[in-house]
């Protein structure tokens, strides 16, 4: 659960009123600048969103007469609003403080510009409120393409990730990938916090790749573009030899292209994955 208090801690907001509402849950990843609503147009109020007041909103409020100002604020700052943020370190008028306390709406201030706050806060809220699942596998950045490597335990996923690291590619996660649906078309993966930067190789144990190869070999997160599934080679099984068969795997309702690579001694899986990524990029450019 994402609460206003967690947001305050993460972004170091100053809370000036509405302290009793710091435990409110944030459920909407979008933000609201209520300029039209403060002017009296309430059709699209969307009270579930955090409200952001910049120079435009504060200037509009200050131009209203005392009676009209309070009347409009009472209609905009309804109790369902999870919080209100005043940007640029602008002074907070007394009416805002009074309503925030009465309706237990945390009133926060920041020195960030409104544009900058929107950029960082929407990204943060999208990541934390997006639908999420854990996928057993690894995630690497190969030539800028997010490749999720899946397969049965012991098939060699971590060994392939290690070889790709040695070839200059980047690791995001090993063993488990936290996958979030960030919009209607995109999935983003990252490592669960407890195993971040860690790679397990049977016979060697668990290693911190940043200590072996440097901090530059890891990324915090990456959009997922391709699934590579490793499976034991089965004699007699018909494998795609022409590249004409298009497979997909659906995760959180979004289909991803999937390539199945049979594993047998002597195959250089890292090189195969690199070529698969180059083919994918080539197809994209030829469209």
Residue 155 is labelled as binding a ligand? yes
Is 190 in the active site? no
CA–CA gap between residue 188 and residue 226 (Å, rounded): 12
Answer yes or no: is 113 a known binding residue: no
Residue 138's contacts (CB-CB under 8 Å, 6 or more residues apart) are 148, 149, 157, 158, 160, 161, 171, 173, 174, 175, 177
How far apart, in whole angstroms, are the C-alpha atoms of residue 90 and residue 117? 14
- What sign for the dihedral angle of Cα 200, 201, 205, 211? negative
Q: Note if 136 is an active site residue.
A: yes
Question: Which of 24, 49, 112, 157 does the annotation list as catalytic?
Answer: 157
Query: Is 157 among the catalytic positions?
Result: yes
Residue 258, marked binder:
no
Q: 10: annotated binding-site residue?
A: no
Tell me if 186 is assigned to a ligand binding site: no
Q: Is 203 annotated as a binding residue?
A: no
Catalytic residue among 194, 202, 241, 264: 241
The catalytic position among 116, 136, 166, 247 is 136
Of 69, 169, 175, 225, the catalytic one is 175
DSSP letters, 193-213, are GGGTTEEEETTTEEEEHHHHH
User: What is the greatest pairwise CA distance in the chain?
Assistant: 83
Q: Is 93 annotated as a binding residue?
A: no
The reply, when asked if residue 153 is annotated as ligand binding, is: yes
Pairing outcome for strands 226-232 and 145-151: parallel
Q: Which residues contribute to the annotated binding site?
A: 151-158, 200
- Enumerate the known binding-site residues for ATP: 151-158
Binding-site residues for Mg(2+), in ranges, read 158, 200
Q: Tell me which residues are annotated as active site.
A: 136, 157, 175, 241
């Amino acid at each position: 659960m994402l609460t206003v208090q967690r947001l305050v801690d993460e972004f170091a907001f100053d809370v000036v009123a509405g302290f009793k509402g710091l435990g409110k849950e944030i459920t909407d990843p979008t933000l609201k600048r209520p300029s039209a609503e403060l002017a009296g147009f309430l059709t699209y109020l969307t009270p579930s969103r955090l409200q952001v007041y910049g120079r435009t909103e504060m200037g509009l409020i200050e131009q209203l007469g005392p009676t009209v100002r309070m009347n409009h604020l009472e209609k905009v700052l309804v109790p369902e609003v999870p919080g209100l943020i005043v940007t640029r370190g602008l002074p907070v008028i007394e009416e805002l403080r009074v309503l925030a306390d009465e309706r237990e709406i945390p009133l926060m201030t920041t020195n960030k510009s409104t544009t900058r706050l929107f950029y960082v806060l929407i990204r943060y809220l999208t990541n934390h409120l997006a639908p999420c699942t854990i996928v057993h596998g690894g995630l690497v950045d190969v030539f800028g393409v997010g490749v999720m490597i899946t397969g049965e335990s012991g098939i060699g996923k971590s060994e392939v990730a290690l070889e790709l690291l040695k070839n200059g590619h980047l690791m995001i996660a090993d063993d488990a990938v936290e996958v979030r649906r960030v919009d209607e078309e995109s999935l983003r993966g990252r490592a669960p916090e407890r195993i971040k930067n860690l790679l397990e190789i049977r016979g060697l144990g668990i290693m911190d790749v940043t200590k072996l190869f440097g901090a530059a070999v890891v990324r915090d997160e990456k959009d997922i573009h391709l699934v590579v599934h490793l499976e034991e080679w089965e004699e007699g099984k018909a494998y795609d030899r022409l590249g004409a068969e298009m497979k997909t795997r659906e995760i959180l309702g979004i289909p991803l292209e999937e390539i199945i690579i049979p594993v047998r001694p002597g195959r250089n899986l890292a090189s195969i994955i690199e070529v698969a990524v180059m083919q994918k990029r080539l197809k994209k450019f030829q469209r």
